A and B are shown apart, each in its own frame.
Chain A
Amino acid sequence: MVSGGPYSTKLQYSDGRVETVLTPVQYDVGTVVTVVKKNDGSVIVTVAQ
């Protein structure tokens, strides 16, 4: 995980959908993350524990 973004992170959901979001840190490919979409349009991405 590298900070200093924003980085363009491409995500694939379990149902197959693919989405690109901007994140403040860079994640390694293969990292499983939790995505929360807020009603104001912002997206929160955190590493799944």
Chain B
Amino acid sequence: MVLIVTIGGKSDFIYTGVSIQKSASNLITTASISVPQNALAYVQSGAEVSIEYNHRILFHGMTTDWRLKFSAGLVSLDIPCVDYSYKLSHMAVSVSSAVTYVSGTVIGSILVSLLATTGIRTEKISQDPSVILTSDLVIPPGAMLWDVISTLCKDYQCLFYLDYARDITGIYTYAIFGKIAYVETLPAFLETHAITETNLVTMDLSLNSVSEISCTRVIAIKDNAMDYDIGVATYGSAPYIDKVVAVNVNDSTPVATLAQTYLDNFRLVNSKLGATFKSLSISLFNILDISGLSRLTGDIIELDTYRVTDISYKVSQSGVIVSVSGVDPTTSLWADEIKQASGDMSVGTLIKTEASYQAEEAKPVYAEVIA
């Protein structure tokens, strides 16, 4: 096991525990490190942290705060860390005036400009000349970077996430942004891990069908000042389980096509994999191929590859335990609803998401009558 934990430039700590949480449904990756000594000299708030396992960068970010304990005659220091997504949700695009990007601007170039001061590298942001603003984008003063990026992702069906890598200057964070067709060509989306009964220690592996949230009809509504354009896509026959989706009014894609895309995606996340392995080095969006587990899959499981959408690493001196969950690799993970569905898809989460969405929609805003 080659695990290198670097905090504030120092990597020879003896650690008692390291854990990392990463999920496609939530941009923010967090880590927690425990060391059995007072290492405060290296752990001032904002110190750079990286965690590397078997030459794979699992985490790159910064310390947020710390907790120093003295218990049973031993000193320990707990260090929670967060990756650079923290900057996105805590840095305003503009302080004093609205920023406008005019219709026709390539969205990739807007992303590069937004990330300019964050320390996040931008070379993996797709500069697709066909993905352009269909109307002016006005960013009001005080809007956070993440709110703008998240809106762009949803409105233009693009995926954004952060990943980490190393070059001669050290470990760094880079952003990935683009249409699914672009993102699927990147190494993280293509790397496949074959799981057989003997090639690694599978502590548990299960397949879940989450039928209680499955939907058989999507009603996509484009609300252009109460002039509704509605697209409906169905699966099977009535009665249907409905999901209503509000689509971007500026999206020129036929609303029926959007409804079908949503329906396909919602249905794809209806089968989920959950698994825990020992000593598996894996990244978010990698593919798990379980066709080698023939005693599990038998003849009736159609889907034997899963895209990893949640990862939890737990590292102790006894080894690395990685828990993952996965969905159908063809799922397009650009919409919040689909990312939510691929992540923690309990009924409770759904209700909470719907409630926060409704609260957001019902928030009163001021406007001036101009005609």
Q: Quick check: is B301 within 8 A (CB to CB) of the other chain? A: no
**Total A-B residue contacts, Cβ distance less than 8 Å:** 81
Q: Quick check: is A39 within 8 A (CB to CB) of the other chain? A: yes
Alpha-carbon gap, A18 to B98, bound state (A):
15
- Chain B residue numbers with a CB within 8 Å of A21 are 225-226
- Chain B residue numbers with a CB within 8 Å of A48 are 366
| Bitwise interface map of A from 16 to 49 toward B, beta carbon under 8 Å scored 1, else 0 | 1111111000011111111111110111000010
Which residue from B100, B364, B367 sits with its C-beta under 8 Å from A12?
Answer: B367
Which residue from B98, B223, B226, B366 sits with its C-beta under 8 Å from A32?
Answer: B366
Alpha-carbon gap, A44 to B357, bound state (A):
18
Q: How far is the CB of B334 from chain A (nearest CB, A)?
A: 22
Alpha-carbon gap, A36 to B367, bound state (A):
10
Which residue from B100, B136, B369 sits with its C-beta under 8 Å from A31?
Answer: B369
Question: Given A10-B371, A29-B371, do A38 and B361 touch, yes or no (CB 8 Å)?
Answer: yes
Alpha-carbon gap, A14 to B140, bound state (A):
8
- Chain A residue numbers with a CB within 8 Å of B139 are 15
Question: Given A41-B223, A41-B226, do A15 and B98 touch, yes or no (CB 8 Å)?
Answer: yes
- Chain B residue numbers with a CB within 8 Å of A10 are 369-371
Q: Quick check: is B40 within 8 A (CB to CB) of the other chain? A: no
Alpha-carbon gap, A9 to B370, bound state (A):
8
Contact status B370-A36, CB under 8 Å:
no
Which residue from A13, A18, A27 sits with its C-beta under 8 Å from B366?
Answer: A13
Q: Quick check: is B51 within 8 A (CB to CB) of the other chain? A: no
Q: Quick check: is B41 within 8 A (CB to CB) of the other chain? A: no
Contacts of B80-139 to chain A: CB distance below 8 A: 98, 100, 136, 138-139
Taking CB as reference atom, which chain A residue is nearest B140? A15
- Chain A residue numbers with a CB within 8 Å of B225 are 19-22
- Chain B residue numbers with a CB within 8 Å of A11 are 367-370
- Chain A residue numbers with a CB within 8 Å of B368 are 11-12, 30-33
Alpha-carbon gap, A34 to B121, bound state (A):
41
Q: Quick check: is B300 within 8 A (CB to CB) of the other chain? A: no
Contact status A29-B370, CB under 8 Å:
yes
Which residue from B138, B221, B358 sits with its C-beta under 8 Å from A15?
Answer: B138
- Chain A residue numbers with a CB within 8 Å of B365 are 13-14, 34-36
- Chain B residue numbers with a CB within 8 Å of A36 are 362-365
Alpha-carbon gap, A10 to B115, bound state (A):
34
Taking CB as reference atom, which chain B residue is nearest A45? B367
Alpha-carbon gap, A13 to B225, bound state (A):
14
Alpha-carbon gap, A16 to B357, bound state (A):
23
Alpha-carbon gap, A16 to B226, bound state (A):
20
Alpha-carbon gap, A17 to B225, bound state (A):
12
Q: Quick check: is B228 within 8 A (CB to CB) of the other chain? A: yes
Alpha-carbon gap, A34 to B369, bound state (A):
10
- Chain B residue numbers with a CB within 8 Å of A38 are 361-362
13 A-B residue pairs with CB within 8 Å: A9-B369, A9-B371, A12-B368, A12-B370, A14-B366, A22-B225, A27-B369, A32-B367, A33-B366, A36-B364, A37-B362, A39-B357, A41-B226
Given contacts A16-B100, A22-B225, A36-B362, 8 further A-B contacts (CB under 8 A): A10-B370, A11-B370, A12-B367, A13-B365, A14-B367, A16-B138, A29-B371, A43-B226
Pairs A-B, 8 closest by C-beta atoms: A15-B140, A10-B371, A11-B367, A16-B138, A27-B369, A31-B369, A20-B225, A36-B364
- Measured CB to CB, the residues of B under 8 A from A are 98, 100, 136, 138-140, 221, 223, 225-226, 228, 357-358, 361-371
